[in-house]
Structure 1
Amino acid sequence: DVLNAANHLSQREGTSQRERLPRLTWRVESLDGQAVKAASGQRIDVDGKIDPRQHADAILLTAPFFSDMDAFIGQRDLIGALSTALKAQHQAGAVLAAYCTGNYLLAEAGFLDGRPATTHWAKAADFARRYPAVELHAQEVITEQDGILSGGAVTSYLNLAVRLVGLFAGEKLAAMTAKALLIDMNRVSQASYVSLLDDHGHADPLVARAQQRMAATLQEGCRLGELADYLAVSERTLNRRFKQAIGIAPLTYLQNLRIEVAKQLLESRPIRLEAVSLRVGYEDLSTFRQLFRLKTGLTPREYQQRFARREGRG
């Protein structure tokens, strides 16, 4: 759709017959040349089979939808065939672009080693564990280096597509296309969309009790020393058990909890920032603002303006 819109705008703006010709052409390909079934069940026809010998200016990898990435990565024949095709295209000068879980394919082929990359924020920890040689910038919407473009969560494919228009048809047309399709090219961070409280699925009863206590005493201002006393353990033990169970220190978890509750309050109804700050245990509004921006990339007011639910009008 983005490429088609760019062609339409280019033809509309062109003054000569040559300028009115389509500037961008594309093919949709699969490994075996057969139609692909999307995760939603939709059948997607393709134009043909992937042929590494046919040169392209750019390759855009779609994102596979897998809850179990081990199962996907374990398909070595498929991964190997894709890697071979991608290497042949890149060696011939093609730009490679991927978004969301498609970045796993670039990483498996070795393209991201020593280069910056991003992925869906919920996959960041898993991605970093699998590919330690990659310079992961999980908060960024797009990274780019050496003809390798990496996009974040699913809708970043729109930003990637506009970037490809800019590379091959000019930045002026790219800007026109983004405006026509209401694509926000100023999105530079995924941070404001990130859930800070992942479900780690741990089985540590001490940590579970600590989490419950933190939530219950959030407004009063939970202190780690008091929390350790309540649980009848040392602060050192509490820190160790937290890191073992969920990978972060209890203070970090407490900060994340406070910001998540603040986000929910800001999203749900009109509310003063002072009230939000006090509700999550911060008497100092400036401290709350600083931490909120550090965690989300936005000020509390900016977050409220962007994400607050609007009541319908009759």
Structure 2
Amino acid sequence: MKEALSISIGSSIRNKTVIVNLLGEEVRISRIATDGDMNAAREKFRELDGQVDAFGVGGTDLGLFYADRWYPLYSVLPIIQDVQITPVVDGCGLKNTLENRCASILDAEIGGYLDQIGRSVLVMTGVDRYGLLRSFVDAGYQYTLGDVLFSLGLPFPVRSERILKRILAVLIPLVARLPFEWVYPTGEKQNQRKPKYTWVFQQSSVIAGDCKYITRYMPDDLEGKVIVTNTTTPADVELFTKAGVKYLMTTTPVYEGRSFGTNMMEAALLAVSGYKQKVDLYHHQPYFKMLEGLVNTAGLQPELRVLN
């Protein structure tokens, strides 16, 4: 049996292990977390290097992939610097292959409902999920990008990709060198609710992006909304249901009540495919093409369910 392991700096209460069948082969996928301790994560990567078939990096990104370019996060890279054998991914590949199908699948499955409520989307952080952003932009949605709102805490919604690119040209070199916890909740902070900018949620029919970002900042009332996210636990689904969310799409499949992160599922695909090379996101096109082939062969698709 193959084994893929996601080592996360997120909260350990979200840990989960299941055995799934991908590409005709069983693979054990497991998430273990260090509750925000990056040194402990680095030690686990070092200790388990060569003992599993593929690693995922959870609760953080190794870099930001935006507009066909990868920007490493220098405060995060040290956690994998001791890995010499096992391939390591942070989910960037699936974010730019599998997640860019979400808008078209929504249209195919609930297009009539979207006609009623309007096609407008809040993408929590476009720089973190460029493939997801592009899927909605290409589908003609009115969009609001929450990068400045939720990552920097400034009350400036961005409604133009051109403006976002200008902002990011200035911010990314700075953010890439900041401590990661300054711009993203880690450890137990991921479980804390801190609703803000309620109005930006209410004006959008679809809320898309990282589940921890959504649950941390969302208001209590999301009546009739559509959520597009992943890494959902039963507690997250209950929260969305109580808030009145109509539809929930997880960008990765649900196994035993849980949708795993893109890093976990990408690692699982590499594990069953026998991929052993170091993933080079500076020259990403051959890797993305190979990964998309694995996604198609495995039949992976975002999964939609009705909550209310």
Q: Same fold (TM over 0.5)?
A: no
Higher Rg: 1
TM-score, structure 1 normalization:
0.26
TM-score, structure 2 normalization:
0.26
Which has the higher relative contact order, 1 or 2, with Cα contacts under 8 A spaced 6 or more apart? 2
Greater strand content: 2
Greater helix content: 1
